[in-house]
Structure 1
Amino acid sequence: MSMLKRLAASLLILVSIDVASKTIDTYPLDYWALRDVISNVEVSPDGKRLALLKIPTKDGDPIIEVYPTDNLEAEPYRINSDPMEIQSFFWLSDDVIGMSLRQKVRDKIEGFNRGVYEYLLASVDVKRKKLKKYDQLGADLEHVLPNNDRRIIFSYLPGGDDDRLNKAFRPRTYFELDVKSGAKKLILRGKLDMGQVEFDIDGNPWLARGFDVAKGEYVWYQRITDKSKWQEMYRMSEDSFETFEVEGFDDKQPHIFYVRANNGDDKIGLWEFDVKKVSFGELIYRRSDVDVAGVRYHSNQWKNMDTVAGVVYTKENIEVEYFDELEMATAQQLENIIPNSHYVRINSRSRDGSSLTIYNVGPRDPGTYYILHKGKLTKVGGRQPLLEPERLADVRYIEYKARDGRTIPAYLTIPNGTPPFPAIVMPHGGPFVSEVVLYDEWAQMLANNGYIVLQPEYRGSKGFGLDHYQSAFINGGQGGYKMQDDKDDGMQYLVEQGWTESDRLAMFGWSYGGYAALVAAARKEQIYQCVIAGAAVSDNQMQVNYYRDRIRGAQKIEQLGMWDDSISPIETVADVNVPILLIHGSVDQRVPPAHAERYRKALDKHGKVYKYVELDGADHFSNTLFYDHQKVLYESMISYLKSDCGAGGL
C-alpha cells in the first residue's frame, strides 16, 4: 500500500467523516480539532531515506516513519518513544535520527513557567533499529556537526528559570555527545559574562554573548580573528530598545559579520559589522515600512551551513531578497510548480544537493510537504489533508487608521461568500511579538463558519519599527486605552468598508488577546455583542508579580510600563456589559488558572452573564492542545457565537 493510500486509510480512523458534509461549505469541527497529521518531513544526508512525523489517530501520539526515497510505497520503519511523546526530529547522520521528547510527569503546575512536562533528547539508529535516550533533562540540540557523523553538540540551562536576565543571555553549559555510545564530554560551562555560544560547521566556537553586571551592558565576543581567545566586539546598554543580533558571517570574508540592528534607525536593517575594525560597515538591506526579520541560510545545510543566502522581511507574506542567484532561481522554480504556492521553502536537502523536501503553507494550504528526488516531484502529505483548498479562505493584508492617526497593519481572513459577514477581531498574544498570517487555524475555522476575522498588528506589535512597538508603553501603558482603540477602530473600518455590520461584532483572543477581550467586555463605548477570552490575564498585578523581580533594563521598562499602567480587568468587572465566554487550561503555566478563578468570582459577585470552559490538562501553548481540547474549544466557541453572543447570537 502506498504512502498516500495509507494516509487516506488513516484519515478514516482519525475522524468519522460525514459524507453529507461534502455538499455544504462548513466542515465538521472534528476536522479542525485534529493535530497535524504529517509534519517535519526531512530527507537523510545521503538522500536514501525520507522521514516524517505522523499522528496516526485522532488521540494518538506522534510516531516517526522512515521510507526509502526510491520506494515511498514500501512499508516504513516506525519509531515511537512510549511513554514519552516525540516533539520533533532531525537527521544527525545518514543512519541516525535525533529526537526531542517530552513526558507529562505531574498533574499540576509548580508555579509560573513551571509546567507539567519534562524534556529529553534521544536518537535512533535506523539501520540497526536501536533507540538511545540521553539523561540530561531540558537539553537542547545546538549543532549537528555535518562533518562528523558520530557527534553533536547539545546544551542545557543549569539552575532553572530563576535567573534575573533575559533568557537569550542566560549562561548555558555545552557538551559534545557521541550518538553511538552515549558518552558526553564537557566543552565549556557558560558564565554570566560570557554564556551564549555559537559554533561553526566544524564545531568551532565563533560567537559568544554575555552580560556585564557592573555596567549593565550586554557584551558580544568573537573568535574569528584569533581562534585561541575571545575578543570583545560590541556592547549595548540593557536599557536600550534597539536590536543587535548577529545572524552569520561572510564565508569568503569571515571577519565580516551579518548583523540585524537598528543602529540608530526606527527600522531594523541588515548590516555588515567588521570585527577587525570593531565597527558597523555597509548597510546591506533596510526597508521603510517593516523591520528585517532575519536571514535565509543556504538550503544545503550539510555543505553550506554557515552561508547566508538572503535577507527576510514579512508583510503580506514572508519575503526573501536573495544574495545567491542559484538559491533564488531554485526558489522561484519551486514556487511555479507547487500547487497553491504561497510561502515555499526547502526544509531539508541531501548532502549532494540532488534530493530535497519542500514545504508550502498559505491561506489555501494548511501546510503540504513534497520531495524532489531523481528529478521527480512527489507529494508526501499535508498537515491537515481533510481540508480542501477551494473551501478555505483568502487572507488579505490591509492597513487602516486608528483614531489618533496611527497606521495599523492587519490581516483579514475572508469567508467564501458575499459580505457583509459577522466579524471577529482576534488580537494576537504577547503582546510584544511579530506576526505574519500565512495560515491561521483559528481564523480559518471561524471563516469556514461564516465569520470574517481581523488580526490587527496593534501598537506594541513588533516588526514595524521601534516607534510602533514602544508606543504601547513608553508614555504610560496603553493596554485598555490606545491599544484597545486600535482593535475597535479596525472593526469600525470593516463596517465602513461594507465587510460587516455594526451589530455583528465580537472579539476572541488568547493570552494577551484574552486580556484584550476582557477589557473589551467592560468598555463603556461598547461595540461588541460578546467576547471570548482564552487563557486571559485578568489581574495585571498578579501576572507581573510572577516575574517582577526577575526582569531589568529595557524589559523592565516594557513590562512594568505596560502592565502597571494599563487597565486591569479584575478592577472593571462591575462595568462588564456584554456576555463573556471564558476558556482556560487547567495546567496553564504562563497565565495560571488563578486568573480565571478570581475573575469568575468577581463576575458572580456582580451578577454578570458568562460561561466557563476548562480544558483539562491543557497548558498555555498550542502544542499542549490535543484533539479533545481543540474539539471542546471549537464547539464551545461556535455554539456560543451562534446562540449566546448578544440577542439571537452573532
Structure 2
Amino acid sequence: MKKVIVALTAISIMLLTLAPTSFAQTGADTVPLDAFAALPVIRNVSVSPDGKKLAIVRASSNNGDYIIEITNLDNLKEKPVRLGANKMLVSGISWLNEDKILVQFRQILRDGSKSYWVNKIAITDADGKGKWLVPFRKKKNLNFSLVSLLPDEKDYVLIEADVNNNRTPDVVRMNINSGRTTTILRGNSKIQGDFVADKDGEIRAASGWNTSDDTIDLFARKKGDDEWITIYQNSPKKRENFSFLGFSDEKPNQVYVNANLGEDKTGIYLYDLETGTYSERLFGLKGVDAGGIVTNKWGKLLGYSYTTKQPKTFYVDENEQALYDSITPLFAGKFVRIASRSDDDNMLVIFTQSGQDPGTYYLLRDKQKLEKIGERNPRLTAENLSPVKYVTYKTRDGRKTKAYVTIPKGNPPFSAVVLPHGGPWARDVNIYDEWTQVLAHHGYIVIQPQYRGSEGYGLEHWKAGDKLWGLAMQDDMDDAAMYLVDKGLAKKDKLALFGWSYGGYAGFVASMRENNIYQCSIAGAGVSDLNRINATLNESIFLKELQKPTIDGLNPIKHVDKVNIPILVVHGDIDIRVPVKHSREFVDLLEKYNKDYKYVELNDADHFSDTLFYDHKTEFYSAMLDWLENKCQL
C-alpha cells in the first residue's frame, strides 16, 4: 500500500465563528465555583458524511439546556439551523446520512411517587424542517441501543430493544424516515443480547445466560448460517475476559475477540468459525489489557486500542498512522483524537484534551487549514488547572499499583484527598477530570489509586479484590495516601478520602477504620449495605452472575457505631443503580450513635454524572469544599 503523507506544514489556524453562547472569562487567580459547576459549553461536534455540514451540541445556559446547531461549511455566513426539543435534554448527535441526524437525549419520567431518568433517541432532518421521530414513543420506559448504522443503507438502522416486553432484547430493522420496524432477530432463552452485526448488517454474535451450566455463553454464527456456535463459556468459578469486537471485513467467518486465553493480560485474537481455532496473539502488552479494534465505518481494520495513562492506538493502517503523525505534533502535550470525519477524510473534527485543557474542538479542512471551533469550558484556562501525573506505588503487601496524581499549584506538602473510582470493576482514565481539578484548584493534591479489583491491569489484579471489599482493597487506598506522605507531597495529618458509588462505599469504610489515617471522609452515592447491593444486580446478567459472588467483606451498615471521624454523605434522591436508601439508613444510624456527620440529598439526581446538573454540582461542590476546609481542617 502506498503511504499517504499528509502535509500540514503550512496550516493556517483561525477561529471558526459559529455564534457561540457568551460566557464571561475569569482571571487566572480566582475562579468562581460556577466555572466548574456549569455544564460544558460544547458537548458534541460531528461532521456530516459528505463533509458539507457541521453539527454542534451547544449549551444555552449554565445548566446545559443544549441545542443543536447545524452549520453549512460551504458558507459560514449563513445562519445556522438551530434545533431544540421540549421536555428532551439533548446529550449528543450522530449523522445517519447527509440529511438525517440521530439525537441522543434524556428524560425524567414520573410515575406517581417514583421518578427516574431514561435515555432515548430521536431522528430528525438536519435542515430543521422535519418532524422528530422517537422510536417506540408509547413505551416510555423502554431502553434500547443502536446495533449498526448500516453504512451502505442510508434509510435504515439496526436497534436492540425488548419490543415484546419479555425482558429479553430483540433486534429490529428501522426505517429512519417512517419509523417502521421489522424484527429480524427475536431474543430467546439462549440468545439474550450483546448483539454484534457484521458490515452487511447480519447479526452474527450474541450472548446469553446458560442456567444448566451456570455460565454466560458467547455465540457466533457463520455468514448466512442460522446455527449458533458456542464460542466461549464464562463462569464465576473460572472468570476471565472474553468479548467479541467485530468481524473481519476480509474474511467474514473470522471474528476479532479480546480475551485472556491463558495470559494474565488480555490480547486481540481472530477466531475462525470454520476451523474452530484462534489465531496467534495479534496484539497485546505486558503492562495493561488490550482494548479493542479500531475500524472505519465500513469495518476496515485501522489499529488496536489500549490504555496506559491515556487511551492509545497501535495503527496497522499506514494511511491512518500518517494522518495521526501529522496531526498530533500540532498539539504538544495533549491527548488528540479524531472525533468525527467525513467519508473522504477531507473534513476532520479534532478533539484535544489534557489535565490543563477541559477539551477543545478543531476543524481540519482538506488536511491543510485548521480552524478552532471552541472549548468545552472557556472559563477555565491552563493557569486555572493542574497537571496530572501517572505513578506507580507499592502497597503494604508489595503489590505494584498505578495511580493518577493531580498536583495543585504551590509548594508541597499539601493537604490530600484519596479519590477511589467506582465499579469496582472499572479503572480511571484521567485525561481531564472535573472532580480532581476542583479539588486541586482549591489546594488539595488528589490521588486516584487503581486498587486491586480494578479492571485493565490484568486478570490477577482484577481478581485480587474478590471478597475483599473494605479489607485489602481499602488498604490499597490508605497506602496511596501514605505514598504521597512518604514522597513529601502530602501532610500526614491532613488526609481525607472521597469517592462515589463503590468509591462512596470506600468513603463509608474510611470513616470507621481502626488507627484511622484520615481526618474525615466523603461518601457519594455509596453502597452502605452489601446485602442490599447484591439484590440490585439483577438488571445485568454479567453483574448478577459474575460479580455478585465476589462481593463480600466489611459491611458498613453493621459497623456505624465504629465511625470515628466526621463524614459527609451525598446522594441523589432518584438513584437507580445505588438506591438512596443506602445513605438514608446509614445516616439514621449516624444520628442514633451521635456521630459527626452532614447529609446532602440532591433532588432529581440519579447515580451517574449525566444527571448532575449545575444546581446539583453547585450544592455538592460547595458542601464538599466547606467540609474539607472547615470540618476536616484540611
Q: Normalising by structure 1, report the TM-score.
A: 0.90
For the pair 1:460 / 2:425, whether they are aligned, the reply is no
Deviation at 1:401, TM superposition (A): 0.8
Q: Unpaired runs of 5+ in structure 1?
A: 164-170
Inter-CA distance 151–561: structure 2 relative to 1 (3 Å threshold): closer
**Within-5 A mapping of 1:133-532:** 133-136=133-136, 137-158=142-163, 171-196=168-193, 197-224=195-222, 226-232=223-229, 234-239=231-236, 240-298=238-296, 301=297, 305-338=298-331, 341-374=333-366, 375-473=368-466, 477-532=467-522
Cα distance between partner residues in 2 of 1:5 and 1:49: 12
For the pair 1:586 / 2:573, whether they are aligned, the reply is yes
For the pair 1:561 / 2:550, whether they are aligned, the reply is yes
536-545 vs 611-620, which moves further: 536-545
Cα distance between partner residues in 2 of 1:291 and 1:533: 30
Cα distance per residue 1:141-188 (max 9 Å; x no partner): 22211112211122213577x96xxxxxxx421222222222222222
Inter-CA distance 108–410: structure 2 relative to 1 (3 Å threshold): farther
Q: Contact between 2:71 and 2:79, CA under 8 Å: does it hold in 1? A: yes
Inter-CA distance 116–552: structure 2 relative to 1 (3 Å threshold): closer
SS of residue matched to 1:46: coil
Cα distance between partner residues in 2 of 1:462 and 1:536: 20
Deviation at 1:223, TM superposition (A): 4.0
Inter-CA distance 552–133: structure 2 relative to 1 (3 Å threshold): closer
Q: Contact between 2:69 and 2:82, CA under 8 Å: does it hold in 1? A: yes
> What is residue 10 of structure 2 aligned with on the other side?
none
Cα distance per residue 1:276-331 (max 9 Å; x no partner): 21111211122221111222223xx2xxx312211112112212111111111111
Amino acid at match of 2:608: F
Deviation at 1:233, TM superposition (A): 5.1
Q: Contact between 2:44 and 2:56, CA under 8 Å: does it hold in 1? A: yes
For the pair 1:621 / 2:608, whether they are aligned, the reply is yes
> What is residue 61 of structure 1 aligned with on the other side?
65
Amino acid at match of 1:145: L
> What is residue 129 of structure 2 aligned with on the other side?
129
Deviation at 1:132, TM superposition (A): 2.4
Cα distance between partner residues in 1 of 2:22 and 2:540: 48
Deviation at 1:88, TM superposition (A): 1.8
Amino acid at match of 1:392: L
Q: Contact between 1:429 and 1:512, CA under 8 Å: does it hold in 2? A: yes
Cα distance per residue 1:93-120 (max 9 Å; x no partner): 101111123221217785xxxx612443
Deviation at 1:390, TM superposition (A): 3.2
Deviation at 1:534, TM superposition (A): 0.8
Cα distance between partner residues in 2 of 1:432 and 1:47: 39
Q: Contact between 1:335 and 1:341, CA under 8 Å: does it hold in 2? A: no
**Within-5 A mapping of 1:634-645:** 634-645=621-632
Amino acid at match of 2:145: D
Q: Contact between 1:341 and 1:360, CA under 8 Å: does it hold in 2? A: no
Cα distance between partner residues in 2 of 1:517 and 1:638: 16
SS of residue matched to 1:632: helix
For the pair 1:6 / 2:12, whether they are aligned, the reply is no
Inter-CA distance 221–523: structure 2 relative to 1 (3 Å threshold): closer
Cα distance between partner residues in 1 of 2:383 and 2:397: 39
SS of residue matched to 1:327: helix
Deviation at 1:596, TM superposition (A): 1.6
Q: Contact between 1:344 and 1:358, CA under 8 Å: does it hold in 2? A: yes
The alignment-based identity, stated in percent, is: 38
Deviation at 1:623, TM superposition (A): 0.2
Amino acid at match of 1:524: E
2:36 pairs with one of 32, 38, 52:
32
134-143 vs 635-644, which moves further: 134-143
Q: Contact between 2:46 and 2:55, CA under 8 Å: does it hold in 1? A: yes
Q: Contact between 1:69 and 1:373, CA under 8 Å: does it hold in 2? A: no
Task: Provide the aligned length of Structure 1 versus Structure 2.
Answer: 612
Q: Contact between 2:348 and 2:363, CA under 8 Å: does it hold in 1? A: yes
Deviation at 1:53, TM superposition (A): 0.7
Amino acid at match of 1:89: I
Cα distance between partner residues in 2 of 1:454 and 1:187: 48
For the pair 1:596 / 2:600, whether they are aligned, the reply is no
570-579 vs 47-56, which moves further: 570-579
Inter-CA distance 217–484: structure 2 relative to 1 (3 Å threshold): closer
Cα distance per residue 1:214-242 (max 9 Å; x no partner): 33344444444x41433515131433311
For the pair 1:611 / 2:603, whether they are aligned, the reply is no
Amino acid at match of 2:357: D
Inter-CA distance 350–621: structure 2 relative to 1 (3 Å threshold): same
Inter-CA distance 293–383: structure 2 relative to 1 (3 Å threshold): same
Deviation at 1:551, TM superposition (A): 7.5
Q: Contact between 2:196 and 2:246, CA under 8 Å: does it hold in 1? A: no
275-284 vs 249-258, which moves further: 249-258
Deviation at 1:84, TM superposition (A): 1.7
SS of residue matched to 1:397: strand
Q: Unpaired runs of 5+ in structure 2?
A: 1-14, 137-141
Inter-CA distance 434–60: structure 2 relative to 1 (3 Å threshold): closer
Q: Contact between 1:422 and 1:451, CA under 8 Å: does it hold in 2? A: yes
Inter-CA distance 254–572: structure 2 relative to 1 (3 Å threshold): same
Inter-CA distance 288–327: structure 2 relative to 1 (3 Å threshold): same
Amino acid at match of 1:201: K
520-529 vs 229-238, which moves further: 229-238
Inter-CA distance 100–109: structure 2 relative to 1 (3 Å threshold): farther
> What is residue 101 of structure 1 aligned with on the other side?
105
Cα distance between partner residues in 2 of 1:318 and 1:295: 13
1:88 pairs with one of 62, 86, 92:
92
Q: Normalising by structure 2, report the TM-score.
A: 0.92
Deviation at 1:128, TM superposition (A): 6.0
Inter-CA distance 233–5: structure 2 relative to 1 (3 Å threshold): closer
Cα distance between partner residues in 1 of 2:621 and 2:340: 34
342-351 vs 635-644, which moves further: 342-351
Cα distance between partner residues in 2 of 1:609 and 1:356: 54
Q: CA RMSD, aligned part only?
A: 2.2
> What is residue 168 of structure 1 aligned with on the other side?
none
Inter-CA distance 248–139: structure 2 relative to 1 (3 Å threshold): closer
Cα distance between partner residues in 2 of 1:109 and 1:514: 26
SS of residue matched to 1:130: coil
Inter-CA distance 613–236: structure 2 relative to 1 (3 Å threshold): same
Cα distance between partner residues in 1 of 2:329 and 2:107: 42
**Within-5 A mapping of 1:540-555:** 540-547=530-537
Inter-CA distance 368–109: structure 2 relative to 1 (3 Å threshold): farther
Cα distance per residue 1:354-389 (max 9 Å; x no partner): 111111222122121111123311111122121112
